[in-house]
Amino acid sequence: MRISQLSEATGVPIPTIKYYLREGLLPPGEQVSATRSVYGAPHVRRLRLIRALLEVGKLPISAIRAVIEAVEDESKGVHEMLGTAHYALSPKTEPEDTPEWADARAMVDELIRERGWRVDPAAPGRDELAQTIVTLRRLDQQVTLPDLRPYAAAVGGLVRDHEMSRIPFDGPRESAIEAHVIGTVLYGRVLDVVRRLAEESESARLLADADGLPK
């Protein structure tokens, strides 16, 4: 297909496609004359992936470039490739050199260890969770390992039994990583909203009768 048809098929404007070509995020089409190239299904897939990283993952172009490089480096296994996208989605956390921080980080490591999770010692989520614990404690909320365990247990089952099965591992690398990014971000949003709905319901169950509101 021509660039105009690629634009129609994906909804990505032609100037944006040209920008991705210049930046090397999209491989060049097959040159059929001095002024014309044609594009195929791999270009459609790549544009879908870029759109997912940009619009769903809200990633900057530099992070998208890193993910695309991992997709193109076929010497990288699928786990490593998915990890590149996954880490790019995690906010960067700057560890503090304080005893409070060290204590929170040790608790995170212990949580992961006791669940038997295979998580890289340098995974950004470890510091992000430590940071959240430090913030809670500075707001005078007590946080201990038993407070975290139910969260780990709840999502552990969810991820094992439901999330990974949504990733198509038997197709092109682009499709696996696109599904992984969409699932991580959007099912994260599902989890967050459903939790707030459950909170409203539980508050109603516990308090509305006392408040004299209708059941």
100 binds its own copies (CB under 8 A): no
Q: What angle do helix axes 124-138 and 99-115 make, rounded to 10 degrees?
A: 130
16 binds its own copies (CB under 8 A): no
Cα–Cα distance, 46 to 17 (Å, whole number): 11
Candidate list 12, 79, 100, 104; residue touching its own copies; CB under 8 A: 79
Residue 58's region, left for phi above 0, alpha for psi from -120 to 50, else beta, is: left
Candidate list 35, 129, 173, 174; residue touching its own copies; CB under 8 A: 129
Residues with Cβ within 8 Å of residue 58, at least 6 apart in sequence? none
92 binds its own copies (CB under 8 A): no
151 binds its own copies (CB under 8 A): yes
74 binds its own copies (CB under 8 A): no
Report, in Å, the least distance between residue 9 CB and its own copies: 13
Report, in Å, the least distance between residue 31 CB and its own copies: 31
- Residue whose CB is less far from its own copies, 28 or 156: 156
123 binds its own copies (CB under 8 A): yes
Number of residues that bind its own copies (CB under 8 A): 79
Report, in Å, the least distance between residue 28 CB and its own copies: 26
DSSP classification of residue 208: I
According to CB under 8 A, which residues from 42 to 71 bind its own copies? Answer: 52, 56
- Residue whose CB is less far from its own copies, 36 or 117: 117
Q: Among positive and negative, which fits the CA dihedral 7, 12, 15, 18?
A: negative
For residue 107, give the 3-state DSSP assignment. Answer: helix
Candidate list 44, 66, 163, 172; residue touching its own copies; CB under 8 A: 163
196 binds its own copies (CB under 8 A): yes
For residue 33, give the 3-state DSSP assignment. Answer: strand
Residues with Cβ within 8 Å of residue 50, at least 6 apart in sequence? 20, 25, 26, 64, 68
162 binds its own copies (CB under 8 A): yes
Cα–Cα distance, 28 to 46 (Å, whole number): 12
